[in-house]
Amino acid sequence: MNIVLLGFMGSGKTTIGKAFAQRKKLKFIDTDDVIEKQNNLLIKDIFSSYGEAHFRLLEKQVIDQLVGLDNCVIAIGGGAVMYYDNLDALKRIGTTVFLDAPLQKIIMNLKGKFRPLVGHTIDEDKMRELLEYRYPTYRKADLVIHTDNLDIQQIVDEITAKLGL
Ligand code: S3P
């Protein structure tokens, strides 16, 4: 059994994934970390040196490598489901859970953090546009959790209850 966390950057996939893994004694994997380790480069440097298309290819390769894992909570980079057959591949790997966070919460979480697609200054309109574009794909997850007004442990509780774990 694997849990695959999907959602926009800043929606809490890593924080919630770690808390969930700890609670259920599962292993936590973050695809961005795996990409960085395998390539010995930071995500931002992969984007700046080789471009987004190359990053998406590395991301797809890492997702394909997840096949066969068990008892893991896997946080997936926010854009991955938009490329190749990644969403279908992820659904074969585990139960996909979309962490649906409102834009304002996402913006708050991203303040002071750098993401290649956002840069140092958050452009709210650009973020809204990207979130709206990706939203229908995120909604195809097996489970949708509305994270607004819930703290980390409550979100973990809700995933646990809804999946009957
Ligand atoms: C991206 C999200 C990032 C990372 C890369 C691209 C995206 O991951 O994969 O910067 O396209 O939304 P997080 O969702 O973990 O921030």
Does the model's pTM come out above 0.85?
yes
pLDDT digits (tens, 9 = 90+) for 2-16: 999 999 999 999 999
Rounded Cα gap, residues 50 and 100, in angstroms? 30
Going from the Cα of 27 to the center of ligand 1, the distance in angstroms, rounded, reads 21
Using DSSP's 3-state secondary structure scheme, residue 59 falls into helix
Rounded to an integer, what distance in angstroms lies between the CA atom of residue 70 and that of residue 78?
Answer: 22
Residue ranges per structural domain of the chain? 2-163
Our mutation pick for probing the ligand 1 site, out of 4, 6, 8, 9, counting the most ligand atoms within 8 A of Cβ, is 9
Rounded distance, CA 69 to CA 123, Å? 37
Nearest CA to ligand 1 atom 15: 77
Ligand 1 atom with minimal separation from the 44 CA:
10
- Per residue in 75-131, pLDDT tens? 999 999 999 999 999 999 999 999 999 999 999 999 988 899 988 889 999 999 999
Given the candidates 3.40.640.10, 1.20.1270.10, 3.40.50.300, 2.40.30.10, the CATH classification of the domain at 2-163 is 3.40.50.300
